[in-house]
Chains A and B, each alone.
Chain A
Amino acid sequence: MTDPVLSIRNLTVEIPTRHGVFKPVEHVTYDLHPGEIRGVVGESGAGKSMTGNAVIGLLDPPAHVSEGEVWLNSRRIDALDAEDKRRIRGKEIGMIFQDPLTSLNPLFTVGEQLVETIQLHLGLSASEAKKRAIALLDRVSIPDPAERFNQYPHQFSGGMRQRVVIALALCTEPSVLIADEPTTALDVSVQAQVLDLIKELAKERQVGVILVTHDMGVIADTTDTVTVMYSGHVVESGTTDQILGAPTHDYTKSLIAAVPRPHTKVERFPMVSYGDRVSTFKIDDLAAHWTKTDLSKSGKLVEVENITKTFLQKGAILPSHRQYFTAVDQVSFDIRDGEVFGLVGESGSGKSTVARMIGTLYPVDGGRVIFDGEDVTAMGADALQGYRRQIQMIFQDPFSSLNPRMKVGDLVAEPIHHHKILPKADIGPRVRELLDWVGLAKDAWRKYPHEFSGGQRQRICIARALATQPRFLICDEPTSALDVSIQAQILNILKDLQDHLGLTMLFISHDLPVVRQMCDRVGVMRQGKLVEVQETDKLFNAPQHPYTQELLDLMPRLKQLA
């Protein structure tokens, strides 16, 4: 085997705080060989990105490397002064960050930024540098590179921008590339192209790549070797097949077990407990309290007929000069009693807008929403209150969906207060029961939301959504902001609710394996239109619409998984 191009030995990062020294990275050791793509996985806060930043000397003070060594091409670089580190950064180590929008300077053309970097590090003449830049743009598959050379970043789409960033990272022929969640902000179709490009370039130029990600699909499809991190430590390292297929450490096992499988449906996600992540969810007594389980008259709880939503894109005083953007275009579907109906699509496809129209957060511009035989769009204020009591919504971001200035008990009690469901004296006990049902500690009601983790906050959101005993639950990307092991817990809770209460749900997600696990039927949306509605199994096994086929092709295979 060749010598490693980058070698991290026993690296420890310390951040002194007023509560003592905090070590986000502790004794991390791994090697990177030329042409190797090493995935670094772990939950948020596990120290994956911090390790990368420490290697290139980009730690924000007061964080500093307190121990360990970093070797680049047999040269020790962790002890260099700031000026030397700056020279290595960009020249010998290239970087790709998560958000392609902020990695490029919006005031300079793409060409200027490439030429500047090339000249700075390689000392070529302007015309040579330009030639090289255009060749690079061509290499990262930007069409018409000579013309694109003179355009500004805002004239590129998200995926194109990320390619420009890759070109920028490669223009000085670095021997190591650090890619920190390079595709997290991108849609699946674009993600696949960017990852393929990184894969090709690594092999072609013998560049070692560190790919930091939380997405096991990306790991399975792209990397050669994997390092698993948990709270600052490396818990396991090995080849991708070995880690995914035969993990040895308990944490890795629990992580792999929690990944939703795209091809087989499981009843519940297996919970391999590690650390303090034990679910205490008890559902049995919840059903006894549920009063609203009666079926709808027609067997269809929600019927959506040709709903349309347009947003004003460019305002003008004259109505004829106004420009509108159609976010949802004539969408129709129905949701049966006790069914979980999935809506999938890429960002901007209008799936959240549909959910918000059903939830009365947006007025409907055309068409009707019918709930249990009643037209919601024609309801008066009183009837609407009755409707709102029967529906609830769970949002994507558990950090913004809870009012930070209210105690958890008050948050959960709010819907009960508003709809006057219970006499005042009974509200406190009911709130504590609800919090207990979703697996939170007894005293949780006394705390504020910021004292809880993302997964716990999402449980609070579920408790609040259950407070009115709704018949219909709208889940808008309920787990996409969560780590994979937490995602499994939340999805299990939703499955339990569905089984025990017969709750009808609209489940919105961009993550196809999750949809496969959760939904009975699925609708696929693209650019505001519903292109296909099908039973989940049929959709995944025999997609009819070309767009659905394309989406399914891009889904990570995860065939190495145990």
Chain B
Amino acid sequence: MSRLQTILDSDQFYAFRRSPVAMVSAAVASLLILATVLAPLIAPTNPFDPSSLNLMNGFTPPMQPNAFTGESFLMGTDDQGRDVFSTILYGMRISLFVGVAAVLFAMVLGIILGLLSGYFGGWTETIIMRTADVQLTFPSILLAMLIFGIAKGVTPVEYRDQMAIWVLILAIGLSDWVQFARVVRGATLVEKNKDYVAAARIIGQSPLTIMLRHILPNVLSPVLVIATISLALAIIAEATLSFLGVGAPPTQPSLGTLIRIGQGFLFSGEWWILFFPACTLLALALSVNLLGDWLRDVLNPRLK
């Protein structure tokens, strides 16, 4: 109870209540995330169960009864007769899972490398940070495609579809660690010269203890900001890869896969197959991104 009270009383929460953008973004993001988690309960059909599909339902426009079966769908159906609303709910699951997992991966990698290079300096720093510089010269989507291509080459054909999601996470995560490492390194350089680190060294604590126990908790707030903004970017990156056909396979469609499938029908009049997944992606990425922007302003008062 007192902890909740502390949160409700904090300056951050006060700033949150004063910012309409933050409140709306948080509401939209939570709604979408909640819908994703509860997808099996909310979705009218299970798009992964071929037995529940009826080809006769194909190309049903939204909110109109199908000419043959008389069934009606909130957001219409695609060419296979799959309910677009259900595929979006399940697709968002994959998009969010890949996004969150990729950001976590990039974050852990970036924090470790950033702490090491910031704390030790010298050759450790040179090697890590120059690698980061080199990586930044590649467009990250290109890098992700490269990693995806290599991974696809080395996995046996029968596992490809199963592995696709994990490879996607690896590819996006590896192309994203640089900014975490850079921010953590910068913050570490500041923190390691403060006297509390000197006090820990005088006791005789090891570099590992000092980094994890003392420095890490003090460099986490910028990391939190980047993680939020990166989440939006990772969701978009996943959608881009899937749209290009190198991401989530059609059997496990993410929002990007749905958009790729939908764009084929746009000019033949079946606009809803593209429109609804695209709007969902926009709402998801935008709300998370705005939330990240707001967080950055709150945690870094100097930027105001």
A404 and B218: CB pair below 8 A?
yes
Smallest Cβ-Cβ distance to A398: which chain B residue: B195
Residues 386-422 of A at the B interface (beta carbon under 8 Å): 388-389, 391-393, 395-397, 400-406, 414-415, 418-419
A401 and B194: CB pair below 8 A?
yes
Q: Is B204 part of the contact surface with A, judged by Cβ < 8 Å?
A: yes
Q: Is B214 part of the contact surface with A, judged by Cβ < 8 Å?
A: yes
Nearest CB on A from B250, distance (A) = 47
A395 and B195: CB pair below 8 A?
yes
A419 to B202, CA, bound (A): 12
Smallest Cβ-Cβ distance to A389: which chain B residue: B204
A403 to B14, CA, bound (A): 25
Nearest CB on A from B224, distance (A) = 13
Nearest CB on A from B213, distance (A) = 8
A405 and B218: CB pair below 8 A?
yes
Query: Given A401-B194, A403-B218: A393 and B204 within 8 A (CB)?
Result: no
Q: Which of B204, B205, B214 has the most CB of A within 10 A?
A: B204
A393 to B196, CA, bound (A): 11
A396 to B217, CA, bound (A): 23
Query: Given A395-B195, A397-B195, A403-B196: A359 and B218 within 8 A (CB)?
Result: no
Residues 153-204 of B at the A interface (beta carbon under 8 Å): 194-196, 198-204
Smallest Cβ-Cβ distance to B201: which chain A residue: A361
A400 and B14: CB pair below 8 A?
no
B195 and A401: CB pair below 8 A?
yes
Q: Which of A400, A406, A418 contacts B203 (CB 8 A)?
A: A418
Interface of B is mostly: helix
Smallest Cβ-Cβ distance to B195: which chain A residue: A401
Nearest CB on A from B72, distance (A) = 51
Query: Given A403-B214, A404-B218, A405-B217: A392 and B196 within 8 A (CB)?
Result: no
* Cβ contacts under 8 Å, B200 to chain A: 403, 414
Nearest CB on B from A395, distance (A) = 4
A128 to B97, CA, bound (A): 73
* Cβ contacts under 8 Å, A391 to chain B: 202
Smallest Cβ-Cβ distance to A464: which chain B residue: B199
A395 to B205, CA, bound (A): 18
B205 and A400: CB pair below 8 A?
no
B196 and A402: CB pair below 8 A?
yes
Smallest Cβ-Cβ distance to A415: which chain B residue: B203
A406 to B210, CA, bound (A): 13
Nearest CB on A from B145, distance (A) = 38
A356 to B14, CA, bound (A): 43
Q: Which of A359, A400, A403 has the most CB of B within 10 A?
A: A403
Q: Which of A18, A360, A401, A404 contacts B199 (CB 8 A)?
A: A401
Query: Given A402-B196, A403-B196: A361 and B202 within 8 A (CB)?
Result: yes
Q: Which of B14, B199, B205 contacts A393 (CB 8 A)?
A: B199
Residues 58-116 of A at the B interface (beta carbon under 8 Å): none
Q: Which of B14, B198, B203 has the most CB of A within 10 A?
A: B203
A249 to B14, CA, bound (A): 41
A488 to B272, CA, bound (A): 77
* Cβ contacts under 8 Å, B195 to chain A: 395-397, 400-401
Residues 234-264 of B at the A interface (beta carbon under 8 Å): none
Smallest Cβ-Cβ distance to A461: which chain B residue: B199
Smallest Cβ-Cβ distance to B217: which chain A residue: A405
* Cβ contacts under 8 Å, A404 to chain B: 218
A402 to B214, CA, bound (A): 10
Nearest CB on B from A505, distance (A) = 15
Nearest CB on B from A363, distance (A) = 12
Q: Give the 6 A-B CB pairs with smallest separation, nearest first.
A: A401-B195, A405-B217, A395-B195, A388-B204, A400-B194, A403-B196
Q: List 19 A-B contacts (CB under 8 A).
A: A18-B14, A359-B202, A360-B202, A361-B198, A391-B202, A395-B198, A395-B199, A397-B195, A400-B195, A401-B194, A401-B199, A402-B199, A404-B218, A414-B203, A418-B203, A418-B205, A419-B204, A464-B199, A468-B203
| Given A385-B204, A395-B198: 6 more A-B contacts, CB < 8 Å | A391-B202, A401-B198, A403-B200, A406-B217, A415-B203, A419-B204
Residues of B whose CB lies within 8 Å of any CB of A are 14, 194-196, 198-205, 214, 217-218
